[in-house]
Structure 1
Amino acid sequence: MSEKFLWGSATAAYQCEGGWNEDGKGPSVWDTFCHSPANTTGITGDVSCDFYHHYAEDIRMMAESGQNTFRFSISWPRIVPKEDRIVNEAGLAFYDRVLDECEKYGIVPNVTLVHYDLPEYIGQKGGWCYEGIADEFAYYAAVVFQHYGERIPLYVTINEPNHNAYCDYCVGNYPPNHKNDLQSYAHCLYNMDVCNAKAIREFREMGFKNSQIGIVQGCGPATSLQDTPEYREAVKYCDYFCNFGILDPAIKGYFEPELLEAVKARGIDLSFMKDEDLEIIKNNTVDFLGQNIYSRLIVKPNESGITAFTVNNAGNNDGTCKTARETRAIAGWFESDRDTDTRLNKWGREIYPKCAYNTLMLRKERYGNIPIYVTENGHGCYDVPDENGYVEDDDRIAFLNDYIGWILKAKEDGVNVKGYYCWSTMDLYSWINGYKKRYGLVRVDYEDGLLRRIPKKSYYWYRDFITEHKDV
């Protein structure tokens, strides 16, 4: 693969594909959740922006804006629809067509194996806490590796294990919708660690020379507004909770003993850990890190004495939010803090561009010269189109310009940054936010019956920015 810097954008299967039951695809946990009364919004990704039928148009538009890479995910239940492990050839063929289009325009595919959308048959057995999930995932991964091989130079095992587990078992807004279930959260993260390692073992056995495999982390390192022993302890415990339980085994091949002791001291039973798993983790680490960057993770000592979790998309998506509503709190460990001098977006998420620099520098400090791709960075807006469907999204342009500036500064200062992906390629389904919260460089008109694509002002800005920075 070329060493040129990769400039692109990103999507995920359930969020963009549609075609939820076409051509032999099985149901995912998100299909089931969105079709059930548990989904309080009643909004689904059944059609979304219908990438399943519009992929050629979407990839062409990427190429026309100068993007040379595309991050997307494969739908596991589109490839292995049922627990009988029979492979759906039509599912494989769909992604072959997507890769054909990427190759047509010289766009490097960066492909994630699972982006939240577990098969429903796995969900019924316990989802990420199912004891057999790592072997099921390794089987699916091997099918993908064997079929696509080095057509895909960048593979990702799991997108945002920390955020996936957090929403599944702490906040409870993603299936299976558990709240404050720290035992299942820990079990889920561990099983993800084993899934990652077993998939990498399958990948290594293929003997690829020109493809690499990594993992994508959803949040940055914890930070605090004060530098005292108590605040430093809070930062440490938040990193244990959000970062090190995934990144240390994925990159270093082991868990810090202090982390495990701290988790056990919280009353969490770690008997699910097995020596044979730890050996596989030790010998199967990633080639690169994908880092998603949106905002800071600010914490302070836990003063409330409570354990509670909220997110900015749990029914608060009316755009009138005045204070940050994303909250993490574990009694005795840490709780979220606020910087009242920092601007928020309309969902209460902090806009702090320098967090991109700080995140990347701290990743280098802990993990050395590992190649890093900024696999998501974007700005959710209530886009207001004119009579032609055109959106002048100057706020998004300012956001992207400032964040990318700090990312390039980190690259200049020695971080091994290899690429950048704007979230998202086009407007798509934004999980619990449905379709109000838009991230796309391209507007999708969900009302016209045609799902017409209209480039936003940010699309043209990004095209020009790439031209100006193609040689970074």
Structure 2
Amino acid sequence: MTEQFLWGSATAAYQCEGAWNEDGKGASIWDEFCHSDKNTTGITGDVSCDFYHHVEEDIRMLAEGGQNTFRFSISWSRIVPKADRVVNEKGLAFYDRVLDACEKYHVIPNVTLVHYDLPDYIGAQGGWCYPGVADEFAYYAAVVFRHYGDRIPLYVTINEPNHNAYCNYCVGNYPPNETNLQHYCQCAYNMAVCTAKAIREFRKLGLKAQIGVVQGCGPATSLLDTPDYQEAVKYCNYFCNDWILDPAIKGEYDPQLIAAVQSRGIDLSFVKEEDLAVMKDNTIDFLGQNIYSRMLVKPNTSGITAFTVNNAGNNDGSAQAARETRAIAGWFESDRDPNTKLNHWGREIFPECAYNTLMERKRRYGNIPIYVTENGHGCYDAADENGFVEDEERIEFLSNYLHYILKAKQDGVNVKGYYVWSTMDLYSWINGYKKRYGLVRVDYDDPARKRTPKKSYYWYKQFIQDHQDL
């Protein structure tokens, strides 16, 4: 792999592929959820933007936009569809076609093993809380590593363990739709073991490729720098950051984190010494960091534990109808800055958080290579009669965040690449198709899923051309 700076965009299997039951694919927990009465919207990813049948077009379009890398995920359910562990050769062949297209258009693949879409047979046994999930994950990962090898130079084990666990077991808006802090902690631990055991399989093969994990939020911060606010920041980082990054990068948990979790009454009997030994010996090569907003907190004075996220169902697009909230009694709760602009979903637009996040990662973890694996802006895009979208708001967002990302690189952070979320419009989980992030518009009313580059696509192409010297 060359040392060129990577400029690209990102997708995820369930969100873009469609073809949910084609060519031997098994069901994922999202297939099961979307086809159940738990999905009150009736909206699914069964077809989405149909990347499964548009691979060549999408990767060609990406390359024509000046991008030299493509982040996508593999569907575990396509590769190992059932609990019998029989490998689906047609599933492997599909991703071979994706890699063929990447090679044809000189695009470097950055590939995630799980981006929220566990197989349903794992979900039926307890999902991320299933005691055997790490061994199942290691088996699946080994199949992928052996088959694709160095055709994939950048592997990611799990996308956003923090947000995945949070939505699954705190908010309860993602399957298995629970609100249970005990299960949150068990899920969090099992994800760390999954990453370590997958890396152990990876190291056995002696590949030239590298392997990492993707973190979904930045470090906690506060408006005041008093002892009680500092404590709130510390506890929020325990909850959102340290349980992922410390074992992945340092190979161990902070003893104070363990003590803090135990003090909450969490039963940690699921922690095994043999797992901790695997973590210690199998750390990541690089960090993927997703950047959207800051994690602003204050001391928890309400005595309430509560969690909310911004979803289409509770949001009218006014920037006022929903606000993301994290609160754990005695630890921290979300704070608000009335002087900061919000997007249509009630989330802060705070470009400086990109700089602060990257500088803090360097401070805590040294010179680890970092890829900004997601950065994007969800909008209610309005297309003209030709399907073209003048998404000036997205351009402003990306431009401002990129300013601070490149400033962090200039100031010594080992930033190796940047990915816009997302390559094209896609299924945005329980937000369905209202919330659009793509550089390319997808016409969901067209059976052929016509693609039309947005203004941001052309802006990004020019931005890349203007920064070829990185």
* TM-score of the two chains, using structure 1 as the length reference: 0.99
Q: Deviations over 1:415-465 (max 9, x none)?
A: 000000000000000001100000000000001221000000000000000
Match of 1:353 among 338, 351, 355: 351
1:286 is paired with a residue whose SS is coil
Match of 1:381 among 356, 379, 382: 379
Q: Deviations over 1:62-106 (max 9, x none)?
A: 010010000000000000000000000000000000000000111
Give, in whole Å, the separation in 1 of the partners of 2:440 and 2:168. Answer: 30
Structure 1 residues 383 and 314: alpha-carbon distance in aligned structure 2, compared to 1, 3 A threshold: closer
The residue type equivalent to 1:218 in the other structure is: G
**Other-structure match for 1:138:** 138
Q: Deviations over 1:350-404 (max 9, x none)?
A: 0000100000000000000000000000000000001111000000000000001
1:86 is paired with a residue whose SS is coil
User: Are residue 192 (structure 1) and residue 199 (structure 2) matched?
Assistant: no
After the TM superposition, which segments of 4 or more aligned residues of structure 1 sit over 3 Å from their partners? Answer: none
**How far apart are 1:171 and its partner, in Å?**
0.1
Give, in whole Å, the separation in 2 of the partners of 1:81 and 1:324. Answer: 38
Give, in whole Å, the separation in 2 of the partners of 1:211 and 1:104. Answer: 19
**Other-structure match for 1:448:** 446
**Other-structure match for 1:163:** 163
Give, in whole Å, the separation in 2 of the partners of 1:459 and 1:380. Answer: 15
State whether residues 65 and 458 of structure 2, in contact with CA within 8 Å, keep that contact through their aligned partners in structure 1.
yes
**Other-structure match for 1:71:** 71
1:112 is paired with a residue whose SS is strand
* TM-score of the two chains, using structure 2 as the length reference: 0.99
Give, in whole Å, the separation in 2 of the partners of 1:262 and 1:14. Answer: 35
**How far apart are 1:317 and its partner, in Å?**
3.4
Q: Deviations over 1:190-213 (max 9, x none)?
A: 0000000000000000011x2000
Give, in whole Å, the separation in 1 of the partners of 2:343 and 2:312. Answer: 15
Give, in whole Å, the separation in 2 of the partners of 1:320 and 1:67. Answer: 33
User: Are residue 257 (structure 1) and residue 255 (structure 2) matched?
Assistant: yes
Give, in whole Å, the separation in 2 of the partners of 1:353 and 1:470. Answer: 22
State whether residues 380 and 438 of structure 1, in contact with CA within 8 Å, keep that contact through their aligned partners in structure 2.
yes
**How far apart are 1:41 and its partner, in Å?**
1.1
State whether residues 314 and 322 of structure 2, in contact with CA within 8 Å, keep that contact through their aligned partners in structure 1.
no
The residue type equivalent to 2:198 in the other structure is: A
For structure 2, the residue ranges without an aligned partner over 5 or more in a row are: none
Give, in whole Å, the separation in 2 of the partners of 1:45 and 1:367. Answer: 37
Match of 2:370 among 369, 372, 376: 372
Give, in whole Å, the separation in 2 of the partners of 1:116 and 1:228. Answer: 37
**Other-structure match for 1:106:** 106
1:315 is paired with a residue whose SS is helix
**Other-structure match for 2:209:** 211
**Other-structure match for 1:47:** 47
Give, in whole Å, the separation in 2 of the partners of 1:171 and 1:300. Answer: 20
State whether residues 247 and 279 of structure 2, in contact with CA within 8 Å, keep that contact through their aligned partners in structure 1.
yes
State whether residues 59 and 101 of structure 1, in contact with CA within 8 Å, keep that contact through their aligned partners in structure 2.
yes
**Other-structure match for 1:58:** 58
Match of 1:326 among 318, 324, 327: 324
The residue type equivalent to 1:269 in the other structure is: D
Q: Deviations over 1:219-242 (max 9, x none)?
A: 000000000000000000000000
State whether residues 11 and 423 of structure 1, in contact with CA within 8 Å, keep that contact through their aligned partners in structure 2.
yes
State whether residues 173 and 314 of structure 1, in contact with CA within 8 Å, keep that contact through their aligned partners in structure 2.
no
State whether residues 293 and 374 of structure 1, in contact with CA within 8 Å, keep that contact through their aligned partners in structure 2.
yes
**Other-structure match for 2:233:** 235
**How far apart are 1:315 and its partner, in Å?**
1.8
Give, in whole Å, the separation in 1 of the partners of 2:415 and 2:322. Answer: 30
2:307 is paired with a residue whose SS is strand
**Other-structure match for 2:200:** 201
**Other-structure match for 1:38:** 38
User: Are residue 20 (structure 1) and residue 25 (structure 2) matched?
Assistant: no
The residue type equivalent to 1:15 in the other structure is: Q
State whether residues 161 and 218 of structure 1, in contact with CA within 8 Å, keep that contact through their aligned partners in structure 2.
yes
Give, in whole Å, the separation in 2 of the partners of 1:356 and 1:323. Answer: 25
Give, in whole Å, the separation in 1 of the partners of 2:86 and 2:270. Answer: 29
* Number of residue equivalences: 470
State whether residues 324 and 350 of structure 1, in contact with CA within 8 Å, keep that contact through their aligned partners in structure 2.
no
State whether residues 314 and 321 of structure 2, in contact with CA within 8 Å, keep that contact through their aligned partners in structure 1.
no
**Other-structure match for 2:334:** 336
2:367 is paired with a residue whose SS is coil
Q: Deviations over 1:226-274 (max 9, x none)?
A: 0000000000000000000010000000000000000000000111000
Q: Please, what is the CA RMSD of the aligned residues? A: 0.7
**Other-structure match for 1:462:** 460
**How far apart are 1:316 and its partner, in Å?**
2.2
The residue type equivalent to 2:36 in the other structure is: S
Match of 1:432 among 407, 410, 430: 430
The residue type equivalent to 2:203 in the other structure is: R
State whether residues 319 and 347 of structure 2, in contact with CA within 8 Å, keep that contact through their aligned partners in structure 1.
no
Give, in whole Å, the separation in 2 of the partners of 1:272 and 1:323. Answer: 39
Give, in whole Å, the separation in 2 of the partners of 1:199 and 1:459. Answer: 35
Give, in whole Å, the separation in 1 of the partners of 2:441 and 2:102. Answer: 21
Q: Deviations over 1:292-315 (max 9, x none)?
A: 000000000001101000001162
**How far apart are 1:322 and its partner, in Å?**
1.5
Give, in whole Å, the separation in 1 of the partners of 2:405 and 2:233. Answer: 23
State whether residues 383 and 391 of structure 1, in contact with CA within 8 Å, keep that contact through their aligned partners in structure 2.
yes
Give, in whole Å, the separation in 2 of the partners of 1:277 and 1:185. Answer: 18
